[in-house]
């Protein structure tokens, strides 16, 4: 049954576009001259920059989480106090 489903599956719309204009074997042996060359120093700098950015985002996420954990109970307590004042 799985084989029948695989054989009868719908072709993707981009199937014909992906093979358009490719040379014989170009799909499996792409021209490597078009790919950018990066030095190990550039790769190390990019990794370092990514780690710094990830650390900043992590710190920001922790600050937001802590502030929500502190602010939510305070807001609920304040809301019940104000509603209790108006009800009584």
Q: Long-range contacts for 21-29 (Cβ within 8 Å, ≥24 apart)?
A: none
Average pLDDT score over residue span 61-70: 97
Domain assignment present for residue 7? The answer is: no
- The domain containing residue 69 runs over which residues? 39-88
HSE-CB of 33 using CA atoms within 13 angstroms:
1
How many structural domains are present in the chain?
1
DSSP 39: -
Q: What is the largest CA-CA distance in the chain?
A: 84
Domain assignment present for residue 5? The answer is: no
Average pLDDT score over residue span 52-65: 97
Banded model confidence at residue 15, pLDDT cuts 50, 70, 90: low
Domain assignment present for residue 18? The answer is: no
Average pLDDT score over residue span 64-75: 96
Domain assignment present for residue 86? The answer is: yes
Domain assignment present for residue 13? The answer is: no
Q: Which two tokens stand for residue 40?
A: 């190990």
d(CA 65, CA 53): 18
Checking if the pLDDT of 26 tops 60, the result is no
Domain assignment present for residue 4? The answer is: no
Residue 85: the pLDDT is: 78
């Amino acid at each position: 049954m799985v084989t029948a489903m695989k054989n009868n599956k719908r072709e993707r719309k981009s199937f014909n576009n992906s093979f358009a204009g490719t040379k014989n074997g170009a799909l499996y042996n792409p021209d490597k001259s078009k790919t950018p060359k990066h030095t190990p120093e550039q790769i190390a700098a990019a990794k370092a920059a990514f780690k710094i950015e990830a650390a900043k985002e992590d710190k920001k996420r922790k600050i937001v989480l802590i502030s929500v954990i502190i602010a939510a109970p305070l807001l609920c307590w304040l809301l019940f106090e104000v509603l209790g004042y108006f009800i009584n």
